[in-house]
Structures are given as structure tokens and as C-alpha cells.
Amino acid sequence: MAISWRSSAAAFEQILGRHGVAAGACTMEAAWAAFEEFVQVPVDGIEGPEEDGDGFIVEWGVWDWTGNWPALSLGRLLAVNEDGDRQDPYWQPQYWKAEFQAYFAEDPAWADLHISGGGDSGFDHAAIGEPRADALAATRRFIDQDPLLVAMWRSAPIDIEVTLDRAG
């Protein structure tokens, strides 16, 4: 059953809860399992896969907006097509991101891994179903090969949040 793009963060929070993810009680394994489920849920009000209307990304780093805490983000980018005049030759969808962010305490084990500046997996817009499952598996293999991401993955977040914000 499809969800509205406006309720995507709430739907993600429900899925996270079913996987046992809550502030103070979160493992990245559980968060990833919830993310895999969430990005397979169809969303109404967005562009189709042929227009890259629905994608996902993993991001990590230390930024001002994370309070300078190391953070790991699991995000779903949605190209919302509900507003504006589609007949306008300059019309573009609005991009919104439903995002789970985990914040971590500094860890001496990370000292040589240079987390500041961050990185990302790149956006993947594979279609929901088997193509998306394959893309998620490839992203997970990428995570499992990066020493910094492995260290973050094994750590317990000190805080988490789920948001739906305008992107770009």
C-alpha cells in the first residue's frame, strides 16, 4: 500500500519502531533493516522511476547542523510533483528527503579515520522491488568495506532523529 510523500517520515518512524529503533535503544543493524523496508514502500505524489523520482543515499560526517557530532544518515529522496504548473517549460519537482540520522560520541577508535568532511554512497534510484533490493545490498557491501562506516555501524548512537525536509 502506498503512502503519501507528506507522511513518509511518520511511516519511516513506525517502521523503525517495529524494528526496535528508538532514542537510547538503537543499533545500526536494526536501523538498516527498517530502512530497507521503508525504501521499498511505494510513495504517492512523486515522479516515477524513469524520472528518478525516488532514490536513497547513505551519508556520514561531522557538520555544523549535527552539532559537530559524527553522524550517519539513511535518506530517501523524493521528487514531489504536486505543486506548480507542469505545463510551464521551466517546471521542476520539489525535492524532499525523509531521513534517519544517528549521532555518535567521539570514539578514540576513529581517531585515524578522518571523519570530518564526510562522504556519501551516491544516490541510487533503482525501482522498488528486486532492483532496489539489489541496490541496497550493493550499498551495504560498500558500507561493510569502509573502515569508518564499519566503526560507526558497530557503535551505539547517542541520539537519533527522523525528519522530512526540503532538499536542495
- pLDDT tens digit string along 4-41? 999 999 999 999 999 999 888 899 999 999 999 999 99
pTM: 0.92
The answer to whether the CB of 73 falls within 8 A of the CB of 99 is yes
- pLDDT tens digit string along 105-141? 877 666 666 666 678 999 999 999 999 999 999 999 9
pLDDT of residue 111: 63
Residue 16: Cβ-neighbour burial (10 angstroms; 0-12, 13-18, 19+): buried
pLDDT of residue 115: 65
pLDDT of residue 114: 63
